[in-house]
Each structure stands twice: as structure tokens, then as C-alpha cells.
Amino acid sequence: MTTPFLLQEHVTTTATTLIVEQKYWSWFKNTGRGFTISKQQEEGAEQTSTLLFTAETRIAGKYCTISDYNGTLLFHLQRNKLRKSEGWVLTDPAEKVLLKLRYSWARPHISDVTFGPDKAEPELTIVAKDFWWANLDIVRVTDKVVVGTVRCTNMSPGFLSQFKVTPPIWEVKVTEGTDLALMAVVTMGISDAFSQFHGLLL
């Protein structure tokens, strides 16, 4: 069983770690949430990172452009705050719908991922491993295989986490045969919902 992909050239042949860093914290404090997405590598005793994608937002974070490291536009990601099944919609530059991230208003979070423009069944689901939605698994629905694990690396412990005021940084462990672009987009949605949840508690 294979995981759907957005960009064939970014389907990894080995287990890989991404670092997804949000530039701004909350829509209470800034008009957008930009991101950088890098691939982490081990070179001997040293750890290095290679920039893969950047994302810039406008219209209070509702509209996002995602580019590769050269600045070539790859996708548009649009936030629909009033549509649960289409909380975020990803399109290519020609406006073809590629995927949708389902949003839950109860303790804001991303619940699943569907592909294509139609009302398809979810192919990926997001499973939280803690109350704050700071540790999650991205699971393939058909066979329950975990294709990615997402963890906020600068999260305050316990009750103090609700007072977090710095932008989240995410470590994404991606399994072999999974598209890094797909994992980056899903993590951006996770981060945006995470920011909304914590922003409301500040």
C-alpha cells in the first residue's frame, strides 16, 4: 500500500526528518504565519539541514503560497474558517484542487486528509498523542500504518503549555516512500490549528 503524493521527486527513499518552523505565533499578534521547511541530515557527528520549501501567508493567514528553495511557486493553501470538511484546500498554480484538510472546531485541530476535488473518503487521519495536540501521528487510513510522526520541539511542559508565546517548531519523522511535500503541507495545517488553540488561551 502506498501513500498518495503531491510531488514525485520529493518521495523519500529512506526514513527522513523534516523541521517545519513557523515564523509568527498568532493572528492576534501578526497578519500571517510564514513557514520554512528543511530536511535534517546527519553528517558524521554533525547535524545539518537543507531548505526544501518556504511558505508565505497574507490576508490574516487565510491564503498561503508554498514555493521550493529556488522560489518556484508549487502550491496555494487557502484557509476556510467556516467550512469544516474543507478547513484548508491545497491547489496547484493552475487552481486544480489537490487535497483538503478537515478541521475540527472542538479544541481546534486537523482530523484527516482527503485528496482530489470531490467528496472523497479520507486517506490519512491525524491522531493526537497528548491533550495539547503537540505530539501526533499521521496515519494511512486503509492499513493503519503511521507514515509520519509530528512533535512540537519547543513546547512548554504540562499546564505551562497553554501560556506558550513563541512560534512552534515541529520535528516530522517521515517514513520511507512518503512525500516530503505532503508531510510539510499537513504539518503546516497542524501548526496553524495549534496556534489558534493556544492563541485563544493566551
Task: Delineate the domains of the chain, giving CATH numbers in brackets.
Answer: 16-201 (3.20.90)
pLDDT of residue 106: 64
Distances (CA, A) of 139 to 24, 144, 200: 28, 6, 28
Please tell me the pTM assigned to this model: 0.89
pLDDT of residue 25: 54
Residues 6-29: b if buried by 16+ CB within 10 A, e if exposed: beeebbbeeebbbbbbbebbbbee
- Note down pLDDT in tens along the chain; length 202 residues: 688 999 999 999 999 999 999 987 544 544 457 899 999 987 666 788 999 999 998 766 678 999 999 999 999 999 886 666 678 999 999 999 999 998 776 665 788 899 988 778 899 999 998 877 889 999 999 999 999 999 999 876 665 665 666 788 999 999 999 999 999 999 999 988 887 776 544 3
Cα within 13 Å of Cα(75), Cβ side: 24
